[in-house]
């Protein structure tokens, strides 16, 4: 069984659908129950199996209750931490409330999900975790102060879990995408560049040397590989999916 946090939309939804297409039973954990249920219904129409579970991962008590219920239904072979929020801003214009909100969702949410799942994986003899980081974890991106901080923390947690549970047969890796074309991007462009959406979209796409944004399905296929038996020799690794951002940018 594969548990996907943030599986109701965007990258998480693409991962849930992709894994279901390849035979995994899916458990979607998300704060948006209606959208999560629509994803479950979509997976069912494709012939897959999925259930939706409402949870605020930033809330430790809620996460414990939700994951106890999930673990009572079946073992968790795969955990994909895709739940997260973005934030645009630099040091001087990021409020404490904004900083804490991004931290609670992106860092504490990932922490809570792993803390509830890893002991069960240890007890069952192993498992696989993939955490969604970002190129922001290792590069200085303009106006991404708080967001970059959280993704750096997610990457560090990935390395720690991979090291600490290596002998318990738990693999833990991260994926660091560049910009991915999700509904968030469309909303950001519409809100901030009214009347100039096409120009803004082209500029954002051009930030990747390959000349476009990634598609959520491309991230999902990398996650599928990392969670497969074919990747059994891979742990404690961060995979940039960045259209040449790290190696080819001038």
Helices 216-226, 10-21: crossing angle, 10 deg rounding: 50
The structure tokens listed for 180 are 């991915």
8 Å CB contact between 54 and 33: yes
Q: Which residues are catalytic?
A: 147
3-state SS assignment for residue 170: strand
- Cβ-based neighbours of 72, under 8 Å, separated by 6 or more: none
Note the Cα 250 to chain centre separation in Å: 28
- 122 — phi, psi (to 5°)? -60, -45
Q: Are 238 and 171 in contact (CB under 8 A)?
A: no
DSSP string, 124-158: HT-EEEEEE--GGGTS--TTBHHHHHHHHHHHHHH
């Amino acid at each position: 069984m594969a548990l996907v946090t943030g599986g109701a939309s965007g990258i998480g939804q693409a991962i849930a659908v992709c894994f279901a297409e390849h035979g995994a039973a899916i458990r979607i954990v998300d704060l948006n129950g209606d959208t999560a249920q629509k994803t479950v219904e979509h997976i069912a129409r494709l012939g897959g199996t999925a259930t939706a579970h409402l949870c605020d991962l930033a809330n430790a008590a809620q996460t414990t209750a939700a994951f106890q219920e999930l673990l009572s239904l079946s073992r968790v072979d795969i955990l994909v931490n895709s739940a997260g929020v973005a934030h645009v801003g630099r040091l001087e214009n990021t409020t404490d409330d904004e900083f804490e909100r991004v931290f609670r969702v992106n860092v504490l949410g990932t922490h809570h999900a792993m803390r509830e799942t890893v002991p069960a994986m240890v007890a069952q003899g192993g498992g696989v975790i993939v955490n969604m980081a970002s190129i922001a974890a290792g590069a200085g991106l303009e106006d991404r102060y708080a967001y970059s901080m959280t993704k750096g923390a997610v990457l560090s947690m990935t390395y720690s879990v991979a090291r600490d549970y290596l002998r318990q047969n738990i693999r833990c890796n991260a994926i660091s995408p560049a910009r991915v074309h999700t509904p968030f991007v469309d909303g950001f462009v519409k809100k901030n560049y009214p009347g100039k959406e096409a120009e803004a979209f082209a500029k954002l796409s051009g930030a990747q040397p390959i000349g476009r944004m990634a598609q959520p399905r491309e991230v999902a296929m990398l996650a599928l590989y990392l969670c497969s038996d074919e990747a059994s020799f891979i742990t404690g690794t961060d995979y940039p999916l960045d259209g040449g951002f790290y190696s080819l940018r001038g």
